[in-house]
Amino acid sequence: MAGSCSEIYFMKLLSLVILIVCSSKLSGQTNNIVFYARDNYSKTDFSKIDSLSSWFYVLTVNEPSNEEGIHPLGQLMFQRTTTVHDSITEKVYGGGFLPNISFQVYKIKDSAYCFEKSLLIKKAASCVAPDVGGDIIIFGNFIFLNLSICLQCKRFDNAIDYCRPVINQLFLSVDKRRAISLEQIVRQFPIEGQIMKLPF
């Protein structure tokens, strides 16, 4: 009887240790990648971050809607200030390419709608990772959804994703305790930017 009690105690202790180790690993992963469903980003090397000083953002904030249904709170666009040298793009189009990506921003309560839209975008995409859009970032009280089916982020001659590592780094630099509004979030980005408020 005593042996079985000590075995039960040992199994409970072992389970607790395994739970703590797994939780810490998951927590570390979550803290390193802000994009939802990180399995979708096997073709993106998040350690290869472009110079942040080469990027800017534009946040367009919509006036609150009185209409029924789901409405975006605004749009957040990221773009590089100068083109990226790419031998393939230069040969085909005569110049480099300009990485950019935009997100519609919704309240976190509209997550189901955003996940459904993201899934439809990924199913409709004729391109392959890392060019496929439909990205989701859940941050504070907001969910950021990219509506592009295919993105303009990858350098073709070396397949490096220029957008996501930069955006990931920008969001990681934000103190969530000081991120109650969209304006508070973007003002913490360590890049230049602009905030515009639309009257409709």
> pLDDT for 121-174, tens place per residue?
999 999 999 999 999 999 999 999 999 999 999 998 999 999 999 999 999 999
DSSP string over 92-160:
HHSS-B--EEEEEEEEGGGHHHHHHHHHHHHHH--S-TTSB---EEEETTEEEE---SB-B-B-TTT--
What pLDDT is recorded for position 88? 84
52/9: higher pLDDT: 52
Name the one residue in this structure whose structure tokens are 């397949």: 159
pLDDT band of residue 65 (cuts 50, 70, 90) is confident
Checking if the pLDDT of 23 tops 50, the result is no
User: pTM of the predicted model, to two decimals?
Assistant: 0.81
Query: In this structure, which amino acid lies at residue 35?
Result: F
In which residue are the tokens 């990180």 written? 38
198 — pLDDT class (breaks 50, 70, 90): confident
